[in-house]
Amino acid sequence: MSEDVRRDIFVAGLRNAHAMENQALAIMKPQLSRIENYPEVAARLEEHIRETESQLARLDELLDAMDEDSSTIKDTALSMIGSLTAMGHAAAGDEIIKNSLANFAFENYEIAAYNSLLTIAEAGQFNKAMDLLQLNLNEEEAMADWLRENLPKVTLRFVELSDEGRDAKV
């Protein structure tokens, strides 16, 4: 594979990751604004929003180093999809459960995307990018672990609030 082909594939991967992180923000921010009964979820989402903003900055740094920009079209399209996803869950009676499941699935998607991007970086010998990409991956793995570990607590809190006749959805 030629250097140009490897570079093109790597840049496309960086642009895709950038759009993916914008989609993540479009999903998480509306969730955070609606949470009332799950303070631990709100706190972790707030923390991960800050992490995601840092991940975007790292991706911008990598794209800048290659004299490239993110894809406005991809960023906008995936942000719109993220917003629609968040709105769809808001109508559900078990919104917190649906958000928890969707967030866990999305974190695992991001983990897979960063693993693939790291593979491309290694194959293309974009060694300077690997530390920043690994940092993004580590943050996504930590969030996925948190979501997996806290799903039982969130579910039981939902059941408890429902049993008490209280609004349990968020």
One pLDDT digit (tens) per residue for the chain, 170 residues = 688 899 999 999 999 999 999 999 999 999 999 999 999 999 999 999 999 999 999 999 999 999 998 877 676 766 666 666 666 655 567 889 999 999 999 999 999 999 999 999 999 999 999 999 999 999 999 999 999 999 999 999 999 999 998 876 66
Predicted confidence at residue 116, as pLDDT, reads 97
Amino acid found at 158 = F
8 Å CB contact between 32 and 45: yes
User: Quick one: which of 66, 43, 64, 54 has its CA closest to 132?
Assistant: 54
Residue with tokens 């690994």: 134
Predicted structure pTM score: 0.90
Predicted confidence at residue 3, as pLDDT, reads 87
Predicted confidence at residue 40, as pLDDT, reads 97
Q: 3-state DSSP: the chain helix, strand, coil percent, rounded to 5?
A: 85, 0, 15
Predicted confidence at residue 41, as pLDDT, reads 97
8 Å CB contact between 110 and 24: yes
8 Å CB contact between 18 and 76: no
Long-range (24+ apart) CB contacts under 8 A made by 163-169 are: 166/37, 167/36, 167/37, 168/37, 168/94, 168/96, 169/92, 169/93, 169/94, 169/95, 169/96
